[in-house]
Amino acid sequence: MTEPKKLFIKTYGCQMNVYDSERMAEAMGGKGYVQTDTPDDADMILLNTCHIREKAAEKVYSELGRYKGLKADKPDLKIGVAGCVAQAEGQEIMRRQPMVDLVVGPQSYHRLPELEAKAREGKKALDTDFPEDDKFETLKNRPKAKRGPTAFLTVQEGCDKFCAFCVVPYTRGAEVSRPAGRIMDEARELVERGVRELTLLGQNVNAYHGHDKGLGGLIRDLAKIDGLERIRFTTSHPNDMDDDLIAAHGDCEKLMPYLHLPVQAGSDKILKRMNRSHTAEEYLKLIERLRAVRPDLHLSGDFIVGFPEETEEDFQDTLNLIKAVEYGSAFSFKYSERPGTPAAERPQVSEEEKDDRLQRLQALLKEQQKALQDAMVGREVSVLFEKTGRMTGQMVGKSEYLHAVHVEAEGIAVGELAKVRIASSGPNSLKGVLLP
Ligand code: 5AD
Ligand code: SF4
């Protein structure tokens, strides 16, 4: 028997890239590749890249530089760049870094096996099309290996919102939803393979329209699958939160009480310039409606500080919005100019100002996050166990609010759901005791 070829994938960026990397590994599995966790013994290296913020392309070029020695020792080694930097830079990558054999955009990675074959013939292979064929269908025949208890499932891709700072509508293209029937099939298959919790992914997941009742309808159908215990979804836009999806947070038990709902800024002037098409007030009203149906809902958000022409007063509006919401977790970034996006043309805020605002914003978010985590002490939560802890007899899982929870428990298995009483709150996780 011949040795299987080895594939090393390095994933940058969002959860959708994590999902895409899994699918790329599966596509290459069909060609006899197995995954390896080091580039040193790989026959093929793929960088699955992200273009959302600054220096993304530079990071990719410097990472590629590190593989020069490997390629010199092993001329058969094939190197590919996938994902959003591949989409944005295209041919330029091979021009700047001639050792790259193939470049594949996020919409064409189902063509990876053909591209690899072309690269093996010594040719350069590039595909950054937005093809008509359905990449998910082409990748359907995945190996049926056992899976861990949690999985991502892409239901929607692309974005039509064109926020003034964002490259996603250009790199991932227009909004496309996968048909509900196909998602149901994939979900059932994942559950058969051991998955208990699904996170539905989309750049604008709540704009999903592959089901006649939208994302809420899809979630309610998924909830009927026996063995599937938990459903989450990310990332949402406030304007696509329809009545049924809001209601599902109150009446669909399997939908977890944690919602990532980015607002980006709290000043109406900045929101308008960001082309967000909603005001701070409208966002707060929406949160109120969600909390009316699910009072314990934990909220998470994304924030950008130092958007062009943001004043200290505008920034204070963002802090005030954060105070009004009380987030359970959040991601925050300094605005970074993305070539080709409208905001890149506007007068920029100084780097020092951005640094200072980011620090102040993160201090507030950290305080809120800690307060909400500490408030879990004494409460009963449900935990889905995902792995064994570093100490013997310790298990680690996630609560419904996405807090990491450690318990000392013999005999509990990965994939089990159990009730836990929270006993203490540490820097990044909770500790609890298993309830009978
Ligand atoms: N600069 C800073 N942050 C950005 N994001 C998107 N584009 C930019 C940019 N140009 C952030 C937004 C988005 C998250 C995924 O990344 O907050 O919600
Ligand atoms: Fe980017 Fe999200 Fe705005 Fe779409 S909605 S343009 S993905 S920030």
User: Can you give the pLDDT at residue 107?
Assistant: 86
Q: Domain 5-127 is in which class?
A: alpha beta
Contact 41, 70 (CB under 8 A): no
Phi-psi region of 274 (alpha: psi -120 to 50; beta: other; left: phi over 0): alpha
Contact 147, 25 (CB under 8 A): no
Residues 6 or more apart in contact with residue 137 via CB below 8 angstroms: 182
Q: How far is the CA of 165 from the centre of ligand 1 (A)?
A: 7
In the chain, CATH 3.40.50.12160 sits at 5-127
Contact 79, 110 (CB under 8 A): no
Tokens of 229: 């215990």
For a substitution probing ligand 1, which of 17, 54, 300, 304 has the most ligand atoms within 8 Å of its CB? 304
**Four-point Cα dihedral 152, 156, 157, 159, nearest 10:** -130
Q: Is residue 252 a known part of a binding site? A: no
User: Can you give the pLDDT at residue 31?
Assistant: 85
Q: How far apart are the C-alpha atoms of 37 and 315, rounded to whole Å?
A: 42
What digits encode the pLDDT tens for the residues 282-337? 999 999 999 999 999 999 999 999 999 999 999 999 999 999 999 999 999 999 99
User: Can you give the pLDDT at residue 381?
Assistant: 98
In the chain, CATH 2.40.50.140 sits at 380-434
Residue 19 CB–ligand 2 contact under 6 Å = no
Strands (E) in 335-399, as ranges, are: 380-388, 394-399
Residues 6 or more apart in contact with residue 325 via CB below 8 angstroms: 284, 287, 299, 301
Cross-strand partners of 103? 81, 126
Q: How far apart are the C-alpha atoms of 388 and 407, rounded to whole Å?
A: 10
In the chain, CATH 3.80.30.20 sits at 135-374
Q: How far apart are the C-alpha atoms of 76 and 64, rounded to whole Å?
A: 16
Tokens of 416: 């089990």
- Superfamily of segment(s) 135-374: tm_1862 like domain (3.80.30.20)
For a substitution probing ligand 1, which of 12, 15, 50, 165 has the most ligand atoms within 8 Å of its CB? 165
* Regions of the chain where pLDDT drops below 70: 1-2, 132-145
Q: Is residue 50 a known part of a binding site? A: yes
- Secondary structure class of 336 (helix, strand, coil): coil
- Determine whether domain 380-434 maps to CATH 2.40.50.140: yes
**Four-point Cα dihedral 294, 420, 153, 194, nearest 10:** -140
Tokens of 152: 């991502």
